[in-house]
Amino acid sequence: MKFLLLFFLKTTSTLDTFTRKRQVRPVFKRDTTRLIQPIEFPPDNDTLLDPFFDALDFTGKPRELIRILHYGDSQIEADRITSYFRNQMQKQFGGAGVGMIPITPINPASVSYVFDVSANWHRYSILNTKKSPNEPEYGVLGCFSRFNGKEKILNREEEAWIFLKYANISYRRAFLFNRCKLLISGNRSPLYVELNKDDQVLDADIYPSDKNLRIIEWEVDTGARNLLIKLKGKDSPDLFAVSFDAEYGVAVDNIPLRGSSGLEFTRLFQNPYDEVLQTLNVRLIILQFGVNAVINMSKNVDLYEKLFLKQLRAIRMARPDIPVVVIGVNDISVNTTQGYTTNEAVTKVRDAQRRASFDAGCVFWDMFEGMGGENSMPSWVMAKPSLAQKDFIHLNSKGARIIGEMFYRSLMNEYEKYLQRNPEM
């Protein structure tokens, strides 16, 4: 395992690239000194990603903004893994910004952005409520926020605000957005919305009550910082996200669901999410779960497989044209008399995820094997500098960058195969 780890460290200094000119067929520059953990497809179905790859080709058609939703558990919190993958996709195919952000995340720390909100915002999450007949729409991020409760309309106006300032450690492209969006619905009285930059009002408007999804979009100077959004009204909208994107290219949204095993999507997609996904122009969905299944469902992996399959089918049924990539669980160690060894439930959960993926018509990427397989986590923890946390479960930012690079390379390897199958592209 130490050999594999040193191998990964040695090979992360440079990146494979495609040629910049889109009128020339991109060519994947292979480096035989590097290892690619292949994306796995169901038998005789190796073109499942083609609809996504089709969307990446803007030749001969108007350019547009396409979205990739990256769902996961706490392994992707703080924009880990997503941030590197996003940066590489945007460097290759265009785009900028960090995508959609919940304004009241469980973990506000992020490697890509710093923001603050007024104290009167309240978070409503699909993870903190039980399923009910009158369940609200939580939005694609699985949560929303309000500055007053849902019980009644206030007899006076209340004001709330959101302030965003980018962190200095962000990738450069995180700063280069030129579109700021607010995703809201459900305000039962008129809503005043104002956008400010450096104490200067850039735009202000009043929006009537509306139960449907509304996207308020502002064009801002490229690289704008210190953006302040103010909202005022007698009833708060359900605020699903603030989004920072480019006009066109690729947007990749980091959607961590701490504590989740990936079993909430039948609730998330029971509402008209096919329309929402179409409105947002989502072209790829990535699911990265398993840590909590290893910890909480190790004695009933068969049940986990059935439940996880049900989630995948719900997503595929909502939009069959959107490919789904399942990233399998990472290595997790337990302390035994023989030292730190792989939790025996890891491979069982990984295998269950693979079977469910194939049964639902999804593709699978084996992060466990990508890390080095059995008993690989200690090498990541003990590396200099360390690549994983001392809980022997979670990667740190350096380790997450390596996984982000490995997954990006694997996806681009499939993209090259797509180009070879479609030489006219």
Mean of all residue pLDDT scores within the chain: 88
User: Total structural domains in the chain?
Assistant: 2
- Cβ-proximal residues to 148 (8 Å cutoff; 6+ apart), any chain: 120, 154, 158, 235, 236
Whose CA is closest to 160, among 136, 193, 114?
A: 193
Kindly indicate the confidence band of residue 229, based on its pLDDT and cuts at 50, 70 and 90.
very high
Of 149-163, 301-315, 328-342, the range with the lowest mean pLDDT is 149-163
| 88-122 residue pLDDT tens | 999 999 999 999 999 988 877 766 777 899 999 99
**Residue 275, pLDDT score:** 87
More confident residue, 33 or 280: 280
Residue type, 145: S
Q: Are 147 and 122 in contact (CB under 8 A)?
A: yes
What is the C-alpha separation between 369 and 143, in angstroms, rounded?
32
* C-beta atoms surrounding 107 within 10 Å: 10
More confident residue, 223 or 8: 223
Kindly indicate the confidence band of residue 354, based on its pLDDT and cuts at 50, 70 and 90.
very high
Question: H or E stretch including 321?
Answer: none
Same domain, residue pair 228 and 191: yes
pLDDT at 25 over 50: no
The pair of three-digit structure tokens given for residue 61, joined into one six-digit string:
């058609």
Same domain, residue pair 144 and 274: no
pLDDT at 8 over 50: no
Determine if the pTM surpasses 0.85: yes
pLDDT at 227 over 60: yes
| 50-59 residue pLDDT tens | 999 999 987 6
Same domain, residue pair 243 and 277: no
Q: Are 413 and 36 in contact (CB under 8 A)?
A: yes
Same domain, residue pair 156 and 276: no
Same domain, residue pair 129 and 156: yes
Last residue of a domain, one of 208, 232, 247: 247
Q: Are 229 and 162 in contact (CB under 8 A)?
A: yes
Same domain, residue pair 243 and 255: no
Last residue of a domain, one of 210, 227, 247: 247
Q: Are 77 and 258 in contact (CB under 8 A)?
A: yes
Mean pLDDT of 59-71: 89
Strand partners, 227: 164, 197
Q: Are 192 and 204 in contact (CB under 8 A)?
A: yes
**Residue 170, pLDDT score:** 73
Kindly indicate the confidence band of residue 144, based on its pLDDT and cuts at 50, 70 and 90.
very high
pLDDT at 422 over 80: yes
Same domain, residue pair 407 and 265: yes
The DSSP symbol for 399 reads H
CATH value at residue 146: 2.60.120.200
CATH value at residue 415: 3.40.50.1110
| 404-416 residue pLDDT tens | 999 999 999 999 9
Same domain, residue pair 25 and 146: no
- Spacing of C-alpha 156 from chain mean position: 38
Same domain, residue pair 120 and 86: no
What is the C-alpha separation between 245 and 225, in angstroms, rounded?
13
Same domain, residue pair 316 and 243: no
Same domain, residue pair 20 and 37: yes
Kindly indicate the confidence band of residue 322, based on its pLDDT and cuts at 50, 70 and 90.
very high
* Neighbour-count burial for 313-341, b at 16+ CB within 10 Å, e otherwise: bbbbebbeebbbbbbbbbbbbeeeeeebb
Last residue of a domain, one of 232, 247, 262: 247
What is the C-alpha separation between 397 and 418, in angstroms, rounded?
31
Q: Which domain holds residue 327?
A: 1-95+248-425
**Residue 167, pLDDT score:** 66
More confident residue, 261 or 114: 261
What is the C-alpha separation between 224 and 60, in angstroms, rounded?
31
Whose CA is closest to 191, among 214, 169, 219?
A: 214
Whose CA is closest to 417, among 141, 2, 41, 8?
A: 41
Same domain, residue pair 345 and 253: yes
Mean pLDDT of 224-242: 94
- Cβ-proximal residues to 277 (8 Å cutoff; 6+ apart), any chain: 140, 318, 319, 322
Kindly indicate the confidence band of residue 34, based on its pLDDT and cuts at 50, 70 and 90.
low
Mean pLDDT of 231-257: 96
What is the C-alpha separation between 185 and 72, in angstroms, rounded?
25
Q: Name residue, tokens 């399959």.
A: 309
